[in-house]
């Protein structure tokens, strides 16, 4: 497969898979098996009619891509966003399969998406849209089959509406049909801290394996919201210094330190980081090329490409977002000595705690936050060590190490079940 500077998400995912297979003697997947894993098992497209508050009916297009259930069942997020392509939904479902596999939990990958700007809907319209999405899909989802969770612009409240609708349709209260729910609806402790906490644990482990530590490191974080902001707070507690941080429009910079408590207060008031006074303020252009030890892209895809990869100065990049570094940029960064901790390892904390939530729902027994954190730490230690050592053994970067592990586990399951 030829690469270009214009690879879409699906092409990029397939390029990453192919690279992992070709550089490793331990990747035992042949051409026929690669063809199987390169395509989702099922892609569903829906038109969802919703009666709006003004009485008019509006139709919303929605997708559901179910990639692999070899490790059963399908798992992961429903995204509400106005920008999407069918190929992007397919790619994200593939990445979820690999993410579940590399952290070694018994789940496969899928992705759901409704083309909508949720900020344009009232609460009642949002609830109707959420419930009708479930009505269109309920025969294809549910415990032991396909368990949705929140993603971009979806919330615990939306998951509660969806779980309630599914329960009504199957005539049985089914808290395990969705994860990421409020605690009052069978949600798990630690869910909304998990992605950031997992990312910190991954970073700690990789630095430890490199005979290094987080303390005194200068950190730049792209996107001061949710996981990115929580991660900034956790890194400061461990002795790092946040010197750059952004929102969607602006970066602020102070080479001595940025007070994350003040940034958190601004964001809680829905204000921009540009209102942080004790810092230099910059627009978004070229800011990923700033001087720092650790760069954390926590926003959108395709942030580091061949166009800017040569200018990246960070020694470590931790992908808290999905696919911020393209496959071509991986090669450049590796050549320049930058370690990229890939998304399918680095941001897997949410899916891990979603798995824990499923287990708790199934048993109707709920764990306290310290127990969940301990389980999270144990899982990440094993996963990070495996990816790091596989990459070193094959003289390659960590994304290839992660894909080698993930694809081998998926195909071991498929072979054992007689699927290939």
383 pLDDT higher than 90: yes
* Residue of 19, 90, 99, 111 marked catalytic: 111
**Could you confirm whether 56 is annotated as catalytic?**
no
**Tens digit of each residue's pLDDT (9 = 90 or more) over 197-236:** 999 999 999 999 999 999 999 999 998 777 889 999 999 9
- Identify the band that residue 29 occupies on the pLDDT scale cut at 50, 70 and 90: low
Kindly tell me the burial class for residue 285, based on how many C-beta atoms sit within 10 Å of its own C-beta (0-12, 13-18, 19 or more).
exposed
Using an 8 Å Cβ cutoff, are 85 and 11 in contact? no
Please give the average per-residue pLDDT across 43-66, as a whole number. Answer: 92
**Tens digit of each residue's pLDDT (9 = 90 or more) over 321-352:** 888 998 889 999 999 999 999 999 999 988 89
φ and ψ at 52, to 5 degrees? -80, 170
The DSSP bridge partners found for residue 46 are 62
pLDDT top residue among 261 and 8:
261
Using an 8 Å Cβ cutoff, are 371 and 193 in contact? no
Please give the average per-residue pLDDT across 375-386, as a whole number. Answer: 92
* 332/311 Cα distance (integer angstroms): 10
- Identify the band that residue 39 occupies on the pLDDT scale cut at 50, 70 and 90: confident
- Residue corresponding to tokens 């990229």: 340
Topology of domain 44-187, CATH: Rossmann fold (3.40.50)
Q: Can you read off the two tokens belonging to residue 63?
A: 């997708």
- Identify the band that residue 284 occupies on the pLDDT scale cut at 50, 70 and 90: low
60 pLDDT higher than 50: yes
* 363/58 Cα distance (integer angstroms): 40
Interacting residues of 100 by C-beta distance below 8 A, sequence separation 6+: 71, 75, 76, 106, 107, 108, 109, 351, 355
pLDDT of residue 167: 96
Distances (CA, A) of 133 to 61, 312, 316: 10, 42, 40
24 pLDDT higher than 70: no
pLDDT of residue 25: 61
Average pLDDT, the chain: 87
pLDDT of residue 147: 87
* 134/226 Cα distance (integer angstroms): 26
Is 282 in a helix, a strand, or coil?
Answer: strand
Rounded to a whole number of angstroms, the distance between the first and last alpha carbons of the chain is 23
pLDDT of residue 27: 59
3 pLDDT higher than 80: no
On the question of a common fold for 44-187 and 189-420, the answer reads yes
pLDDT of residue 420: 66
Using an 8 Å Cβ cutoff, are 161 and 130 in contact? yes
How many CA atoms lie less than 13 Å away from 61 in the CB half-sphere?
8
pLDDT of residue 336: 95
Percent of the chain, pLDDT > 70? 95
112 pLDDT higher than 80: yes
pLDDT of residue 28: 61
Using an 8 Å Cβ cutoff, are 98 and 348 in contact? no
Please give the average per-residue pLDDT across 288-299, as a whole number. Answer: 91
pLDDT of residue 6: 47
pLDDT of residue 26: 58
**Tens digit of each residue's pLDDT (9 = 90 or more) over 135-165:** 998 888 888 788 888 888 889 999 999 999 9
pLDDT of residue 386: 95
109-123, 138-152, 374-388: least confident range: 138-152
196 pLDDT higher than 70: yes
- Could you state, in order of their start, the residue ranges of all structural domains in the chain? 44-187, 189-420
| Nearest C-alpha neighbor of 79 from the set 66, 63, 57, 99 | 63
* 240/313 Cα distance (integer angstroms): 17
Percent of the chain, pLDDT > 90? 48
**Tens digit of each residue's pLDDT (9 = 90 or more) over 64-111:** 888 877 777 777 788 898 887 888 888 888 888 889 999 998 887 777
Using an 8 Å Cβ cutoff, are 97 and 61 in contact? no
Domain 189-420 homologous superfamily, CATH:
NAD(P)-binding Rossmann-like Domain (3.40.50.720)
- Identify the band that residue 419 occupies on the pLDDT scale cut at 50, 70 and 90: low
């Amino acid at each position: 497969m030829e690469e270009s500077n214009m690879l879409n998400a699906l092409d990029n995912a397939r390029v990453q898979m192919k690279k992992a297979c070709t550089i490793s003697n331990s990747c035992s997947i042949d051409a026929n098996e690669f063809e199987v894993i390169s395509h989702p098992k099922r892609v569903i497209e829906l038109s969802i009619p919703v009666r709006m508050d003004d009485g008019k009916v509006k139709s919303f297009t929605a997708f559901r891509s179910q990639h692999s259930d070899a490790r059963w069942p399908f798992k992961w997020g429903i995204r509400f966003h106005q920008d999407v392509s069918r190929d992007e939904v397919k790619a994200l479902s593939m990445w979820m399969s690999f993410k579940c596999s590399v952290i070694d939990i018994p789940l496969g990958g899928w992705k759901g998406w409704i083309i909508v700007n949720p900020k344009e809907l009232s609460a009642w319209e949002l609830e109707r849209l959420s419930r009708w999405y479930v009505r269109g899909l309920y025969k294809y989802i549910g415990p032991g089959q396909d368990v949705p969770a929140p993603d971009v612009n979806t919330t615990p409240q939306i998951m509660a509406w969806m779980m309630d609708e599914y329960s009504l349709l199957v005539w049985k209260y089914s808290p395990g049909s969705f994860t990421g729910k409020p605690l009052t609806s069978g949600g798990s402790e630690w869910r909304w801290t998990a992605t950031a906490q997992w990312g910190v644990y991954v970073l700690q482990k990789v630095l430890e394996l490199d005979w290094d530590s987080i303390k005194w490191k200068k950190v730049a974080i792209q996107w001061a919201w949710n996981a990115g902001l929580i991660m900034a707070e956790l890194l400061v507690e461990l002795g790092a210094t946040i010197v750059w941080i952004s929102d969607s429009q602006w970066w602020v910079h102070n080479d001595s330190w940025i007070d994350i408590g003040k940034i958190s207060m601004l964001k809680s008031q829905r204000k921009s980081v540009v209102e942080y006074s004790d810092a230099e303020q910059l627009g978004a252009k070229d800011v990923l090329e700033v001087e720092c030890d650790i760069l954390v892209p926590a926003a959108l895809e395709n942030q580091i490409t061949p166009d800017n990869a040569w200018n990246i100065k960070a020694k470590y990049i931790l992908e808290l977002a999905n696919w911020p570094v393209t496959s071509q940029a991986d090669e450049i960064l590796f050549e320049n000595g930058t370690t990229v901790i890939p998304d399918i390892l680095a941001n897997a904390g949410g899916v891990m705690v979603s798995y824990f939530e499923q287990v708790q729902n199934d048993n109707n027994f709920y764990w306290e936050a310290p127990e969940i954190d301990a389980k999270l730490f144990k899982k990440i230690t094993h996963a990070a060590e495996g990816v790091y050592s596989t990459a070193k053994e094959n003289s390659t970067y960590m994304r290839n190490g992660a894909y080698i592990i993930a694809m081998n586990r998926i195909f071991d399951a498929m072979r054992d079940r007689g699927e290939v």
